[in-house]
Amino acid sequence: MRRVQADAVLNRPLALSDARAAVLQHMLRTAGVTALFDDDGDFWSGAPLWNEGGIAVIGIGGMLIAGKLGWGYPYVTGYGDIAERLEEALNDQSVQAIVLYIDSPGGMVSGLFDVADRIYQARSIKPIVAILADEAYSAAYALASSAQTITVPRTGGTGSIGVLMLHTDISRMLDEAGINVTVFRYGEHKAEMLEVEPLTDGAKTRTQEVIDRLGEMFIQLVARNRNLDPQKIRDMKAETFLGEDGVKLGLADAVMSPDAALLDLQANLN
Whether 80 and 112 have beta carbons less than 8 Å apart is answered as no
Nearest to 63, CA basis, from 81, 85, 84, 86: 81
Catalytic residue chosen out of the listed positions 138, 145, 146, 160? 138
Nearest to 9, CA basis, from 35, 29, 43: 35
Query: What do you get for the CA distance between the two ends of the chain, in Å?
Result: 45
Euclidean distance between CA atoms 72 and 63, whole angstroms: 9
Whether 36 and 20 have beta carbons less than 8 Å apart is answered as no
| Other C-beta atoms lying within 10 Å of the C-beta of residue 128 | 23
- Going by DSSP bridges, is the β-strand pair 37-38/76-78 parallel, antiparallel, or unpaired? unpaired
Whether 37 and 63 have beta carbons less than 8 Å apart is answered as yes
Supply angle C-alpha 69, 40, 144, rounded to 5.
40
Distances (CA, A) of 122 to 59, 107, 258: 17, 22, 22
**Is 17 in the active site?**
no
Q: Which residues are catalytic?
A: 138
